[in-house]
Amino acid sequence: MIYNERDLRTETVKALAEAVMVAARTAPKAKGRDLVEIAMLTDDDIVRLSNMMLQVSEESGLKFLLRDAANILQAQALLLIGTRNPSEVCALNCGYCGSATCEAKPKDVPCVMNAIDVGIAIGAACSKIADYRLDSRVLFSAGWVAKRMGVLEDADMVFAIPLSSSSKSPFFDRKSPVKKE
């Protein structure tokens, strides 16, 4: 049997994305607390996220959402990585949040350690993505809108990583679309 890579590309990207999710999950976390949430979107769910990004752009006036909404449609899979209970303290009294102690930290201020955990998980994911030579880009925009949509139910500080296998990465040298009046 002969298999053409072009025929296998989408399913291959989805399978590799599953392994990337494992890499993000096993990344070290502050004091071993696992508050990281990870999900994968494909097909119609990517389209729904793109449409919501267009809507949020219209409401907010943030033009970069237009570019990124078009850009994620070129992905065969899109990963979301965030943290739940971002304000839950790590009880290190490190002061990185600006408060002298965890007890003094205002409840609505995220614990920096939770944000760092998301960053480390994203770094682990990107390292595995690089191993697979997949096209990718970390996007605040798509993660922010996915958070607003409630895609990761209890997660906050959500970032997106679209994945693609193509001859040239669609996630770099991006041009902002001209908004039609």
User: Residue 84: phi, psi to the nearest 5?
Assistant: -95, 155
Q: Is the pLDDT of residue 24 over 70?
A: yes
Residue 61 is assigned to a structural domain of this protein? yes
The verdict on residue 48 lying in a domain is yes
Note the pTM of the prediction, 2 decimals. Answer: 0.91
Range of the domain at 44: 7-86+113-164
Q: Are 158 and 51 in contact (CB under 8 A)?
A: no
User: What's the mean pLDDT in 149-170?
Assistant: 91
Does 15 map to a domain? Answer: yes
Give residue 19's region: left, alpha or beta (phi > 0; psi -120 to 50): alpha
pLDDT number for residue 160: 98
Provide the residue type at 152 as one letter. L
Secondary structure class of 159 (helix, strand, coil):
strand
Model confidence at 179: pLDDT above 60: no
pLDDT at 181: 54
Q: For residue 99, is pLDDT > 60?
A: yes
On average, the pLDDT of the chain sits at: 92
Distance CA 112, CA 127 (A): 22
Number of domains in the chain: 1
Report the helix count and the strand count for the chain, using DSSP H and E.
Answer: 5, 4
Q: Which CATH number belongs to the domain containing residue 32 in this structure?
A: 3.40.109.10
Is residue 101 included in any domain, yes or no?
Answer: no
CA dist 56 and 131 (Å) reads 34
Residue 119 lies in a domain: yes
